[in-house]
Amino acid sequence: MDASTTLSHDERDARAIRRRGWTLALLTIAYFFSFMDRQILAILLEAIKADLQLSDTQLGLLSGLVFALFYATLGLPIARLADRSSRSNIIAISLAFWSAMTALCGLAQNFTHLMFARIGVGIGEAGFGPPSQSIIADLYPPEKRASAMAIYSLGVLLGGGLGIVIGGFVAHSYGWRVAMMVVGLPGIALAVIMKLFVVEPRRGLSDGKAPAAPADAPAMGLWKGIMSLWHNRAAFHLVAAITITSLVGYAVTGWGPSYMQRSLGMSMLDVSKYVALPAAFVAGFSAMLGGWLCDRAARNKGVYAQSYVVVVMKVLAFPFALGFYFLDNLWLAISSYFVASIFAGAYIGPTYAMIQHLAPLRLRATWAALTLLATSLLGLGLGPFVVGQISDALKPTYGDESLRWAMFSVAMLTPWGIFHYWRAGVLMKRQEAAAAA
């Protein structure tokens, strides 16, 4: 028996708070591996296309829908398990599985082989996000949660960028298959470290709640959990906002390297050296800035103000995001992309924090899984796939420039996402005013 099980509630709570920094760091590193394994395909698409003779539609399926279907749908049952049992165990097992499947992608000999390996990556990663967000929400109070989630979201921003850097350099020297194995195999060792050191906090620990019921206590059923989010209109608008924003974002991350190669004349190695690495750190700065501004707004105004901060950041980013597609000069286009990135990455941590703030304690992993279901099926699943289809449809007219117009078409959904963030802020403000009355 683990000695920690003999500790009192107060001793376990103190231990969890004492080690929360390490727990957050390990979850962020695992998220880094998650997104690196997921997004490395972006820099390898052109090499895979040439090797396996694939179409843009097939590449879009591999980048998005094939992965997202399993990642999203399995996230819900795993999240229900996480709301009842050990979240840290689920995270460690999931990490080991998706890492092994990423390495197996390097052995694929055709589209079908690669598709099944990507399905395996999606199955493994389904068990990571919801329990991780639930643990962070229990370790950090509402006024510090946006910053904690912003640190956690660095895994997305740095993982995607550095995955392109590592993948590009390794693929340039040794081929795309070796690149898949190089990013996949280290995650298995990390899974062992996660199992040994990640804290399993009491549910509601940082919300000032009484000790939670035992892990086997009855929890709300899945359907009621879904309806509880649906009836919380502020949460519904937050999920809609992050879904639309993710659709646009996954379209850029999935096809951006190909666009830079086809329309801007860059090589795979140039994208890795001059764009991916600085873009990762710019996006990381954006996430930290967004978390800091949102926590400051929450302390001064209320949690609702975090949504308005995201609105402002997204509005500032939008014209520069469009400039990426309209500026023909290489370095002006890349500069516009970097400026957009300064503001664009600010939404991730605050959005997750607000959803966890609104979620009932025993439904935090479930609400996180519902959010990931929407962002994965509609964002990750449709974003790269729709861009691929539009690009193929426009190719007879625009030739190699078809990808530019396909990506621009999807980017024009951004104002719709901004509206939902604004509406969520309005509704959260009303809820907070009613609770204070």
- Number of structural domains (the chain) is 1
What is the residue-level pLDDT of the chain in tens, covering all 437 positions? Answer: 444 455 566 777 888 888 888 999 999 999 999 888 877 777 788 888 888 888 877 887 787 677 777 877 787 788 878 877 788 899 999 999 999 999 998 888 888 888 899 888 888 888 888 889 889 988 988 888 888 888 898 887 787 777 778 888 888 888 889 998 998 899 999 999 988 888 788 877 777 654 444 443 445 566 777 788 888 999 999 999 999 999 998 888 778 888 998 888 888 788 877 887 788 788 888 888 888 999 899 888 989 999 999 999 999 999 999 999 988 888 899 999 999 988 988 888 899 889 988 988 778 778 888 888 888 788 877 888 889 889 999 999 988 899 999 999 999 999 999 999 999 999 999 988 888 76
- 86 part of a folded domain: yes
pLDDT of 352 reads 87
Report d(CA 382, CA 379) in Å as an integer: 6
* DSSP structural state of residue 198: -
Integer CA distances (angstroms), 388 to 50, 57, 117, 255, in order: 16, 5, 21, 8
Most distant CA pair in the chain: distance in Å? 70
Q: Is residue 280 part of a domain?
A: yes
Domain that holds residue 237: 9-202+224-436
Q: Confirm whether 207 is domain-assigned.
A: no
Residue 121 lies in a domain: yes
Evaluate whether residue 169 is within a structural domain.
yes
Residue 208 placed within a domain? no
Indicate whether 219 belongs to any domain. no
Residue 251 sits in a domain of what CATH number?
Answer: 1.20.1250.20
The answer to whether the beta carbons of residues 298 and 305 sit under 8 Å apart is: yes
Residue 195 within any structural domain of the chain? yes
Q: What angle do CA 178, 184, 189 make, to 5 degrees?
A: 130
Residue spans of beta strands (DSSP E) within 240-332: none
Look at residue 209 in the predicted model and tell me its pLDDT: 54
